[in-house]
Amino acid sequence: MLISYNWLRDYCETQFSPDELRERLTMVGLAIDAVERHNSDSVLDVEVPSNRPDCLSHVGIGREVAVIAGKEVRLPRVESFKTEGRAEDLTAVEIKDVDLCARYAARLVRGVKIAPSPDWLVQRLETIGQRPINNVADVTNYVLHELGQPLHAFDFHKLAGPRIVVRRAAPGEKLKTLDGLERTLTNEMLVIADAERPVALAGIMGGEESEISESTTDVLIESAYFEPNSVRRTARQLGMDTEASRRFERGADIEGVLRAQERCVQLICELAGGVASEDSIDIYPRRFEPRTINLRPHRVRDLTSLSVQPVDVVRILTGLQFNVSEEGEQLICTVPSWRIDVEQEEDLVEEVARHTGFDKITDQLPPASASGEYQPSEMKQRLLRRAFNAFGFDEAINFSFIERETQFEPIPLLTTGEVQQPLLKNPIIEEAAFMRYTLLPGLLNSLRHNLNHGIRDVRLFEIGRVFAMTSLGELPAERLALAVVATGGANEANKAQAERDLDFFDVKGALETAIDWMSLSPLSFTQTAAAHLRAGQSARIKLNDGTEIGTIGRLAESVAANYKFRYPVYVLELDLDTLLNGPARVVQYAPLPRYPSVVRDISLLLDRSVSLDELLNVVKDRQVADFRSVKLVGIFEGGNIPSSKRSVTLRLEYRSDERTLRDQEIEERHAQLTSSLLDTFAAEQR
Amino acid sequence: MAEEQTEQLPAQQVEAAGKAFEQEFERFARFGDAAQLAGLDLDAALAEQRALSELRTRHLGKKSALAAAKKLVGRVAAEERPAFGQLVKEIEDKVVLELDAVELNLKNQIEEKRTARETIDVTLPGRRPPYGHRHPITLLRERIEDIFVALGYVIEDGREIETDFYNFTALNIPDNHPARGEADTFYTNDGFALRSQTSTVQIHAMQRRGVPIRMIAPGRVFRRDTPDPTHNPMFYQVEGLCVDRGITMGHLKGTVTEFLRRMFGADTVTRFRPSYFPFTEPSAEFDFSCFKCKGAGCRICKNSGWIELGGSGMVHPNVLRAVGVDPQEFSGFAFGLGIDRMCALMYELDDIRLLFENDVRFLEQFE
């Protein structure tokens, strides 16, 4: 809101320069965005907090300046003017919807001459960016910026009746507003009507038909109080935002209605001639009751640590025009009608504190109490991030809203049955109206973004919440998920190593490393189909207690095609909440071997369907004496091996804790294991 | 051969051996002057070193002429033996001295050439495994958490889709407040709100933990802003809450200032301006002295020397009442600031949409 420095000084004496005022007003809570010179004046752009509609005028700002400067605010003096005839003999006012209009006052000025405003008025309005129109319209605008009360002038002879009816619009009723647009109204909207039809949108804008014109001789001046929510709702619905609506929707001064009207009428008589009605028709069905709040002065110190002398507390509050009386230890404060924001003791504390100065409050740390605490899984999550970083994965963050998705299998435990994405009632991005139940679409879009920019090697992971409807009217399920997408080379080609395309095992290896870093129990992977994964290259991830937590694999062609991916993409998604709370790895010391161990390799020609896990399980289950460990040495396919088979080479370690094993003992034990494997899998030894 | 040798006197034989050495050594003699080696490359120098080594074996080894001559001492008359011994020593010493001098020079030359050949370009990039990066928001969040844990705060988080009660009512946001409107807050079809601030977490935490409490809630929040260079419909913020007996605005100012000093440097200055938020009373916005220009005025602080960062205040009594805390006994402060905004300031981002585009060329600039 723009405030003219010269105009402001009509209401309060101040020695402060515009720049000083900027600083001082900012420090009482009226931030000044800018101070600009305008001819011989300065214009202050004040950012008025939403709970302070009383500051949306020169007098309103003047009240604050007066307290800062230790002066009194001087209200504009209403000079006497010519009056004749009682208003109720000339017109009538009826409020039909008292819930939306608590006060309506109408007063007439007859015999005006519409003309341009005098220079001083034109200048004042122009200084604060208002466009002058004619003397009557300009006066209503001037008083709005002077006192903060929106006013409206009707051409009295255009009003049928001639009377004023404040009522809800009939559904579909139409009104052409001053901006020339025809508005279709609903019965939630309050209008000012004459005997027949709407003539103004209450508190927002007048109608074109009853607008002041050069031929206007008699005017009806409206000054009213409209219910804030009703004005806000109507303005929003019609996409309107006016000087009047901005003030009514935050809350006008219901007690200031007549004073503003009188000031307006006086200025009209002065500038446009005419004779005013002796009085106003003032319909005021819901009387204002002033609020009284007790302030215990020690509460100022309790809440702010400021020591303010009682005399200063009283000075500040009376300066702000609270009525203050002492009663024992307490101050009984009557709140001025325009201070709709002051409702309780803490609000008074704030008044005292901001006019004493927040800068006077000494910085101190609260005395130590409890010790700090991270979220239980925070340190694990940090390790998880760093583990994926160590494998070249960048951390991504995507919006929580996505398109409707059906291609991806949700993580277990998010939902039972088919997943229902929560739908947004009011999305801001049209194609992202659903809450994500999987992180993968976001990551795949990010992947596509990078590929489109010519980056071929992309590895991303994201940690974030996913959502699913439970039942209607219940809060949706939310779980923390981890997802990974990767494509391109596994490493950058250099002299030391040739480039290799990334594959399933790069993603799996990164996850396994993360699990190790987090000291969690190892995961198991079982080959299973999943909707979004390519058959034969997809697995379910399980905790060692068998709980399924997610899937890993190569993105199915059908999904990849939607994103126009031409190279293999590997993805992983799991339920991070469950993983982080999963069993920890138990570390127990094993004595170091005292006798040497011996290793024997065995190569088996097996059916491709036999998994390494199955092989290893047989080895372990056989419980051959002195067998210690087994590991995979290599897998050979192709060449002279039939396509349905592959050759697997295992390295078995034998060792005794009692003595060095003799060759013959080792051969015996190894033969036992070898025959078990050959028998179990109908394998050939190579 | 042996016959011939026997014909010569032992001393003659010794002298002959010395001469034979001198003859063969002649081609190496110039290497006694190190400058003469300068023209030799590494391979030539190594060849010379080998030749010299053979020469040494031939003339000083067990099978050398000199060694053979020495054995003739028995045939020398007793009174001539000292002179014979003296002769042998002189010749032997000379041979050794000459060989050693050349050998040392050769060795130095070889070392020099080898060093030259094996010199590396230390400016070549170091060998590193591929390394990924944390998101800049994560970097800041972790730093903020570390600071507040050190100050005795617990970290809390909660749901992102919330009921009206937690998102608004408990925070004293009136029914008609614009923040509740569909223009500002996202709603699901069945009327739940995407949390518009992490204050929701404060309510849950106070209900669960009771008071006194010191906590911060970093997290993802949603507001219905169309994406543009300075807005996103989703962003990260951190809200702090401290409720105890005797908590004042002095503690609020002290805590926020301490945090910002740890974040931006010990010379950081803060400024608190009165403001309005429904959930605090009194309320204040806080600014801090520009970390870039230290208050002199620059692009980041729009020449004001101050950077606006967040909102704060004393917890509104209605908020305390909503979780069953008596505002006459307990008081508290709360503050909130945007992590994305901090990120934009610190890294001078001119378009915060980059934060959620996940372009690896962007992500790899941090950490």
Q: What percent of chain B has pLDDT over 70?
A: 98
Q: Please tell me if residue A344 touches chain B, with a CB cutoff of 8 Å.
A: yes
Domain containing A461 — which CATH number?
Answer: 3.30.930.10
In a domain, B228, yes or no: yes
In a domain, B126, yes or no: no
Residue B100 binned pLDDT confidence (cut-offs 50, 70, 90):
very high
Q: Is the same domain home to B96 and B238?
A: no
Q: Is the same domain home to A174 and A257?
A: yes
Judged by CB atoms within 8 Å, which residues 231-250 of A form the interface with B? 232, 236
- Domain end call among B117, B151, B176: B117
In a domain, A559, yes or no: yes
Domain containing A671 — which CATH number?
Answer: 3.30.70.380
Q: Is the same domain home to B84 and B141?
A: no
In a domain, B26, yes or no: yes
Q: Is the same domain home to A237 and A296?
A: no
Q: Is the same domain home to A396 and A352?
A: no
Which of A364, A420, A443, A472 to mutate: most B Cβ within 10 Å? A364
Q: Is the same domain home to B95 and B153?
A: no
* Assigned token pair, A178: 């001053």
* Assigned token pair, B74: 């028995």
The set of residues, in sequence order, having a beta carbon less than 8 Å from that of A349 and lying 6+ positions away, is A295, A299, A300, A303, A304, B281, B282
Q: How far does the CA of residue B161 sit from the closest CA of chain A (Å)?
A: 7
Q: Is the same domain home to B112 and B148?
A: no
Q: Please tell me if residue A379 touches chain B, with a CB cutoff of 8 Å.
A: no
With CB atoms and an 8 Å threshold, state whether A397 touches B358: yes
Summarize pLDDT for A320-336 with one digit per residue, the tens: 999 999 999 899 999 99
In a domain, B287, yes or no: yes
Residue B325 binned pLDDT confidence (cut-offs 50, 70, 90):
very high
B42 or A338, which is more confident: A338
Q: Is the same domain home to A255 and A162?
A: yes
Report the relative pairing of strands A458-468 and A394-395 from DSSP bridges. parallel
pLDDT at B1 exceeding the cut of 80 = no
Cis peptide before B174 (omega within 30 of 0): no
Closest by Cβ to B161, choosing from A229, A302, A422: A422
In a domain, B122, yes or no: no
Q: Is the same domain home to B229 and B340?
A: yes
With CB atoms and an 8 Å threshold, state whether A453 touches B251: no
Q: Is the same domain home to B140 and B89?
A: no
pLDDT at B301: 85
What range does the domain containing A310 cover? Answer: 292-360
Task: Give CA separation, A28 vs A7, A68, B69, in Å.
Answer: 20, 9, 114
Q: How far does the CA of residue A412 sit from the closest CA of chain B (Å)?
A: 19
Alpha carbons B18 and B341: distance in angstroms, whole number = 90
Q: Is the same domain home to A444 and A407?
A: yes
Q: How far does the CA of residue B46 sit from the closest CA of chain A (Å)?
A: 30
Q: How far does the CA of residue B186 sit from the closest CA of chain A (Å)?
A: 6
Q: Is the same domain home to A209 and A118?
A: yes
Instruction: Give contacts of B176 with chain A, Cβ < 8 Å.
Output: 228-229, 232
With CB atoms and an 8 Å threshold, state whether A303 touches B282: yes
Q: Is the same domain home to A476 and A550?
A: yes
With CB atoms and an 8 Å threshold, state whether A390 touches B220: no
Q: Is the same domain home to A135 and A264?
A: yes
Number of residues that this document lists for chain B: 367
Instruction: Give contacts of A426 with chain B, Cβ < 8 Å.
Output: 182-183, 186-187, 224
Summarize pLDDT for A359-369 with one digit per residue, the tens: 999 999 999 88
pLDDT at A134: 96
Alpha carbons A523 and A613: distance in angstroms, whole number = 12
pLDDT at B79: 87
Q: Is the same domain home to B98 and B47?
A: yes
Identity of the residue numbered A411: I
Cβ–Cβ < 8 Å for A579, A516: no
Q: Is the same domain home to A122 and A212?
A: yes
Q: Please tell me if residue B36 touches chain A, with a CB cutoff of 8 Å.
A: no
Which of B128, B209, B358, B366 to mutate: most A Cβ within 10 Å? B358
Summarize pLDDT for B243-286 with one digit per residue, the tens: 999 999 999 999 999 999 999 999 999 999 999 999 999 999 99
Mean pLDDT of chain A: 94
pLDDT at B175: 85
- Domain end call among A302, A330, A360: A360
Q: Is the same domain home to B299 and B189?
A: yes
In a domain, A176, yes or no: yes
Provide the domain count of chain B: 2
Domain containing A344 — which CATH number?
Answer: 3.30.56.10
Q: Is the same domain home to B143 and B258?
A: yes
Q: Is the same domain home to A141 and A253?
A: yes
Closest by Cβ to B254, choosing from A29, A365, A496: A365
Q: SS3 of B188, please?
A: strand
The helix (H) or strand (E) run that includes residue A466 is strand A458-468
Closest by Cβ to A304, choosing from B132, B234, B248: B248
* Assigned token pair, B72: 């003739």
Domain containing B240 — which CATH number?
Answer: 3.30.930.10
Burial of A603 from C-beta contacts in 10 A (0-12 / 13-18 / 19+): middle
Instruction: Give contacts of A227 with chain B, Cβ < 8 Å.
Output: none
Provide the domain count of chain A: 5
Residue A479 DSSP label? E
Backbone φ and ψ for B251, nearest 5 degrees, come out as -70, -35
In a domain, B194, yes or no: yes
- Domain end call among A242, A262, A283: A283
Q: How many other CB atoms sit within 10 Å of the CB of residue A112?
A: 24
Q: Is the same domain home to B154 and B290?
A: yes
In a domain, B130, yes or no: no
pLDDT at B130 exceeding the cut of 90 = no
Closest-approach residue (CA) in chain A for B144: A374
Q: Is the same domain home to B204 and B326?
A: yes
pLDDT at B3: 47
Q: Please tell me if residue B165 touches chain A, with a CB cutoff of 8 Å.
A: no
Mean pLDDT of chain B: 91
pLDDT at A9: 93
Q: Is the same domain home to A276 and A322?
A: no
The set of residues, in sequence order, having a beta carbon less than 8 Å from that of A476 and lying 6+ positions away, is A422, A435, A467, A468, A469, A470, B161, B188, B192
Write out residues in chain A with pLDDT < 70, as ranges.
Answer: 492-498
Closest-approach residue (CA) in chain B for A364: B254
Q: Is the same domain home to B50 and B184?
A: no
* Closest-CA residue to B201 (of B167, B172, B235): B167
* Closest-CA residue to A273 (of A138, A114, A152, A155): A114
Closest-approach residue (CA) in chain A for B146: A374
Backbone φ and ψ for B18, nearest 5 degrees, come out as -60, -40
Q: Is the same domain home to A410 and A481?
A: yes
Instruction: Give contacts of A429 with chain B, Cβ < 8 Å.
Output: 227, 233
What range does the domain containing B82 cover? Answer: 2-117
Burial of A644 from C-beta contacts in 10 A (0-12 / 13-18 / 19+): exposed
In a domain, A371, yes or no: no
pLDDT at B5 exceeding the cut of 60 = no
pLDDT at B116 exceeding the cut of 80 = yes
Cβ–Cβ < 8 Å for B340, B352: yes
Q: Please tell me if residue B349 touches chain A, with a CB cutoff of 8 Å.
A: no
Q: Please tell me if residue A454 touches chain B, with a CB cutoff of 8 Å.
A: no
- Domain end call among A35, A69, A103: A69
If you search the block for the tokens 């409050």, which residue do you land on? Answer: A361
* Assigned token pair, B361: 């060329």
